[in-house]
Amino acid sequence: YMFIFVVAELTSISNVYALLVGDFSNSYGRSITISLGVATVFYTSVAGLPASIVTDKFQGVLMGCLVVILTIAVSSFDENHVSKSEFKMASAATTDGLMAAVTLVLAILSAELFNQSTW
């Protein structure tokens, strides 16, 4: 379970980098995934849990700042404002929306139960 989670996280980071650079060849994906994995294992093995906690705090602060910056940037453009009719159409309850919500709840509950059972 954790192996799949780590591989998915590292792969998504390399995909975002490839998207930013504009080169979707596999050479970027493999090299970035391997280098991130090696760097993470290195600093965790050298400094232990405190280093992991510091990097988690840094990531949390960085994500919070990015959310604030993106919220300000998106809400400041006139073309991003939503009319009442658009909001009504987007917030209407549908069967697909209900199925997505149920699937999300089941996926999170299953993942957490599986995680608790392995520990």
Q: Is the pLDDT of residue 15 over 90?
A: no
d(CA 98, CA 33): 36
Most confident of 28-42, 56-70, 76-90, 103-117: 56-70
Q: What is the per-residue pLDDT for 24?
A: 67
For 18-50, the pLDDT digits (tens) are: 777 777 666 667 787 888 889 888 988 888 888
Angle subtended by helix axes 2-21 and 26-47, to nearest 10: 130
